[in-house]
Homo-oligomer: A and B are copies of this chain.
Amino acid sequence: MSDVADWWTTSIIDMEPGRINLRGEPIQDLIGNLSFAEMIWFMVRGSKPSPAQLRLFEAALVAAVDHGPQAPSIATARMAVTCGLPLNNAMASAVNMLGDIHGGAGEQAVELYHFVRAHSYDVGAALDEWVSARGKILPGYGHRFHTPTDPRAPRLMSLVDEAIENGACDGGFKSVAKKIEAELARRKGKPVPMNIDGATAVIYAELGFAAPLARGLFCLSRSVGILAHAWEQTEQGGRNKGPTPPKYLWTYQDAPAQFKSK
């Protein structure tokens, strides 16, 4: 080839006129033989999951598709179509919102589990070190809305147990996550249960996904809810839908001194 062709080197896809191979396999052999979730795994990792791994993987993907129009991503998708955007642009504006705070907790929780697991000393010391480096909001635990329990987390954890029995994973990260949960409860004097991000992070870590992929896979998952809401709003209609009914406008606050001086 050439330095120009090399500039875009990839191990994912190979093609010539009339032939497309993905991860080394002809596309026509994948179509109709791999489920969509298997295809996700295959594309991202280059290998295929066992049935038990696939079952656990799908559970994580299914669990995070939607959390309603109060989520900035979903609200954005719905407003976007009323601005005249086709679905691709509406989905883009929405997925873009899944930043460190809205979509990054799963990635951070995988990092947390690896961090705690890598320490030979006790969970408490590891948590202290994490908090001092990364701040006091521990990713994957507690929920501002779903109290006392995020209904997705215990269901996902029971599927992790099932997956361990079926040899899909060894439970090492689940054990770490449970120890963190226990330590948090001890410190706070009340349960601070694992939430959806903590639970999907256990799954992605157990299945061997690198931390950033926990966010990437969450984006795929949430894209489903984003599409569903964008489409529902399309059918509802509306033009330039703002965040609140128009009559509320907003409160104007005379500029505080610190703004004027800057």
Interfacial residues, chain A to chain B (CB-CB below 8 A): 1-20, 22-24, 26-28, 30-32, 34-37, 39-40, 43-47, 55, 58-59, 61-63, 65-73, 75-76, 78-80, 82-89, 91-104, 144-152, 154-156, 159, 208-210, 212-213, 215-217, 219-221, 223-225, 227-232, 234-236, 239-246, 248-256, 259-262
Contact = CB atoms under 8 A, between A and B. Distances in A.
A8 B241 CA distance: 10
Number of copies: 4
B104 A98 contact: no
Contact of A159 (B32, B62, B241): B32
B2 A46 contact: no
Given A18-B147, A72-B83, A250-B68, A44 B152 contact: no
15 contacts: A10-B252, A10-B253, A43-B228, A44-B227, A47-B260, A71-B242, A75-B79, A76-B76, A84-B99, A85-B97, A93-B96, A209-B262, A210-B231, A212-B234, A217-B227
A84 to B, nearest CB: 3
Contact of A230 (B20, B216, B249, B251): B216
The 6 closest A-B pairs by CB, nearest first: A84-B100, A243-B243, A92-B96, A84-B101, A84-B99, A83-B102
